[in-house]
Structure 1
Amino acid sequence: MQKVKKIETYNSNSDTVVTIGTFDGVHVGHQKIIKRLVNTAKREGLKSVILTFFPHPRMVLQKDSSIKLINTIDERSKIMDDLGLDYLLVKKFTQAFSRLSAEDFVKNILVDKLHAKKVIIGYDHRFGRNRNADINDLKVFGESYGFEVEEISVQDVDDVSVSSTKIRKALLDGNIKKANKYLGYPFMLTGKVVKGKGLGNQWGFPTANIVIQEDYKLIPKHGSYVVNASIDNNLVFGMMNIGTNPTVDGTSESIEVHFFNFNKNIYNKTIQINLLHRLRDEIKFESVEALKAQLLKDRDTSLNYVKAHFN
């Protein structure tokens, strides 16, 4: 797959089949659409293209900087790459772009830029200035500009009954099992390993402190989780805490991972942490000794989970 960070630099003359959307989470519903896109492209001798937008339109139009996304744009790209897509095109979403008329969007982007011969789109898709055009308008444009519109029906969407909104809520509730079921893969956090206070090392549980650069990335409910990560092509399991470390009077949020049977130096590495199972809420213990006792229990529970699900 080729990822084009700026659609303006896309210069292929190949005819394409296109779908359009934010695709936050690239969940099982999105995957169904993308597989349909890829299969159609192969069958009809076209290139498969996803046109996505970044930043999220709500961040731009509603000044809603509080919205958190399931994936960073790089995570989204990585997931799509595994689905056999030819091109992921990222269009920077701006106020000016939002004012583009529906017909200008169709002519300038879908037809002139992407050479679309088919557009696969949801029955409820809206586009153009003030989102005033719908799939019926798109079909009319298709007749004028020579492309076909294939509708993703309400039944196709309802069969999956998944939405990015439901997944965000599940993550904020700490329901990682439901979130992962809807996603079709483990929810991930990607960040750089930095030096922390070293408290975990003093307690016999050295941790990798993960810093996530993208402030729009959704962080799940505070608590402890069973996780894994691929480090130097080796799959490593561990347990992660998201929270403020209240037992030692911490105040700022941190993400700390203790990997089992692992002692490599990974400072400054960027790693992807996959969340597999929730252990418990973060609580303030009466003492550090009580916390250490709980960490031993968490480790045993985590190892039993890994043994049951990955051996």
Structure 2
Amino acid sequence: MKIYNSIQEFDTKAKTIVTLGTFDGVHKGHASILDKVIKSSAATGCESVVLTFFPHPRMVLQQNTDIKLLNTMNEKAYLLDKLGINNLIVHPFDRNFSRLTAEEFVKNILVDSLNISKIIIGYDHRFGRNRTATINDLIQYGETYNFEVEQISALEVDEVSVSSTKIRNALDDGAITKANEFLGYNYFLSGKVVEGKKLGRTIGFPTANIAIDEDYKLIPAKGAYIVSSIINGKAVAGMMNIGSNPTVGGTAQTIEVHFLDFEGDLYGKALKINLHERLRNETKFASVDALKMQLEEDKSATIHYFNTTGNEKLPL
């Protein structure tokens, strides 16, 4: 998949099948829409294009909104690439872009820049300055500028919005299994291993401290989780804690992973942490020994989880 950092960067002589939106989570609801784009492009010999925006429009137009997203842009690109999209355009969203009229958007962006053959879009999609243009306007522009408009049904559009809300709510509650069900894959965190206080190694549970640069990424509820990651090409199981380590007087939130059956230096390494199940809430234990006993139980539960479900639970 080719990635472009603006509409202006995109250049193709081939006709395109386009869809546009935030596609946050790239979940099951999105997948059905994206599948239409991929199949349509394959059937017609066109290039498939996803046009998305960053920052998220709500970050720009509703600056008091503290929106948390299911994917960073790199994560979204990874998921779209896996689905088989040919081109991803991540266009910078600002107030000037939001002021384009509907016809300017269609003529300058869809027709002149994207060389559009067809757009696949929600029946309730609104666009142009103040979002005044509707799908009916888009159909008329399609007739004028010679491109097809395929409407996504109310049922599919509703599935997308309902799923996104349910996923966010589930993650806020720590309900990882439910979130994964809606996503169609394991929710994951992407970050770099940084140096921590190294307290885990003193009790036999060394951890990799994961730093996530993107402050808009939705972090699930505090607690302990069963996780996995790919390290040096191999799937490795682990257990992760999201929280402040109150037993040892911690205050700042950290994300720490203890990997099973792994030894080595991970400092500076970028990791994708797949979340499988939630083990428990974060707890302030009476002593470090009590914490260590709980970690042993967490380890046993993690081993049991992977032993009983098999390697299919260790996604690449």
TM-score range, shorter chain: over 0.9
**Residue 240 of structure 2 aligns with which residue?**
240
- The reply to whether residue 3 of structure 1 matches residue 8 of structure 2 is no
| Residues 1:132 and 2:129 are matched in the alignment | no
The count of corresponding residues between Structure 1 and Structure 2 is 311
Cα deviation per residue 1:152-172 (whole Å; 9 max; x = unaligned)? 011334567743222111101
- Could you tell me how far apart the structure 2 residues matched to 1:104 and 1:208 are? 49
- Work out whether 1:13 is the aligned partner of 2:13: yes
Report the AA paired with residue 271 of structure 1. Answer: L
How far the C-alpha of 1:64 sits from its partner, in A, is 3.6
Report the equivalent of 2:314: none
Amino acid at match of 1:234: K
State the partner residue of 1:67: 67
Per mean C-alpha deviation after superposition, the further-off stretch among 1-10 and 72-81 is: 1-10
| 2-structure distance, mates of 1:52, 1:158 | 19
Residue by residue over 1:242-290, the C-alpha shift from the partner in whole angstroms, topping out at 9 and shown as x without a partner, is 0000111110000000000100111100110000110000011111111
**Structure 1, unaligned runs of 5 or more:** none
Cα distance in 2 between the residues matched to 1:65 and 1:264: 41
Give the aligned residue type for 2:25: G
Secondary structure at 1:53's aligned position in 2?
strand
Q: List per-residue Cα deviations over 1:100-147 (Å, max 9, x = no partner).
A: 111100110000000111000011111111111111110011011110
1:193 aligns with 193
Measured in 1, the distance between the counterparts of 2:19 and 2:294 equals 49
3-state SS in 1 of match to 2:83? coil
Matched residues in 2 for 1:38 and 1:7: separation? 20
Mapped pair 1:151 → 2:151: yes
Match of 1:310 in 2: 310
Output the TM-score relative to the length of structure 1.
0.98
Percent of pairs with identical residues: 56
1:1-311 correspondence to structure 2 within 5 Å: 1-64=1-64, 66-158=66-158, 162-311=162-311
Deviates more, 1:2-11 or 1:297-306: 2-11
Q: 8 Å contact 1:162–1:182 — kept in the other structure? A: no
CA drift at 1:44: 1.2
Separation in 2 of the partners of 1:106 and 1:161? 25
Query: In structure 2, what is the Cα distance between the partners aligned to 1:297 and 1:185?
Result: 26
Q: What SS does the aligned partner of 1:144 have?
A: helix
1:5 offset after TM fit, Å? 1.7
Normalising by structure 2, we get a TM-score of 0.96
